[in-house]
């Protein structure tokens, strides 16, 4: 993979040619920060894995939402020291299938979470809403 960022001004960057469009900024509420981009990457990677595993198992997934909570070190480089992902699943999906999908993503499939430092406390939880 080859991507590039182009400085715009201050601490604002946009993606260069050859890749999908992204705007990054350090302190702009209208743009994603690099740490937020990493959070979205972890959530996206694991959510895609979970959805794929559940759909492949024909579990009737109707809705999937993942939320991210974290703590960061107080001093530079202010890296994540803990990450907690919570998955809200809706549909006739057995809890056991959700737990297995999350574990497969975390241990085997998600290249983003597996690229993080191993000393980050990384937890996942889930709740299944069974609709009738």
The number of domains in the chain is 2
What values do phi and psi take at 4, rounded to 5?
-145, 155
Using the structure block, give the residue that is written with the tokens 């597996």: 114
Residue 29 has pLDDT above 90, yes or no: no
Angle between helices 34-56 and 95-104 (to 10 degrees): 130
**Do 28 and 40 have their domain in common?**
no
pTM value is 0.91
How does residue 130 score in pLDDT terms, banded at 50, 70 and 90?
confident
Domain with 15, as residue range(s), is 1-32
pLDDT at 132: 64
Q: What is the mean pLDDT of residues 28-38?
A: 92
**Each residue of 97-126: pLDDT tens digit?**
999 999 999 999 999 999 999 999 999 999
With 80 as the cut, is the pLDDT of residue 75 above it? yes
Confidence class for position 28, pLDDT limits 50, 70, 90: confident
pLDDT digits (tens, 9 = 90+) for 3-12: 999 999 999 9
Regarding whether 40 and 27 lie in a shared domain, the answer is no
State the average pLDDT over residues 25-35.
90
Domain CATH code at residue 43:
3.30.300.20
Q: Are 26 and 11 in contact (CB under 8 A)?
A: yes
Here the tokens at position 74 are 């107080």
Q: Are both 14 and 69 inside the same structural domain?
A: no
Query: What per-residue confidence (pLDDT) applies to 27?
Result: 78
23 with 72, same domain? no
């Amino acid at each position: 993979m080859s991507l590039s960022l182009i400085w715009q001004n201050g601490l604002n960057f946009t993606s260069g040619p050859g890749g999908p469009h992204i705007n990054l900024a350090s302190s702009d509420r209208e743009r994603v920060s690099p740490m937020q981009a990493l959070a979205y990457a972890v959530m996206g990677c694991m959510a895609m894995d979970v959805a794929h595993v559940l759909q492949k198992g024909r579990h009737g997934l109707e809705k999937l939402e993942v939320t991210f909570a974290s703590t960061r070190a107080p001093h530079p480089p202010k890296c994540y020291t803990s990450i907690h992902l919570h998955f809200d699943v809706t549909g006739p999906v057995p809890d056991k299938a959700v737990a297995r999908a999350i574990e497969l993503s975390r241990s085997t499939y998600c290249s983003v979470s597996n690229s993080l430092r191993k000393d980050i406390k990384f937890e996942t939880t889930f709740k299944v809403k069974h609709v009738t």
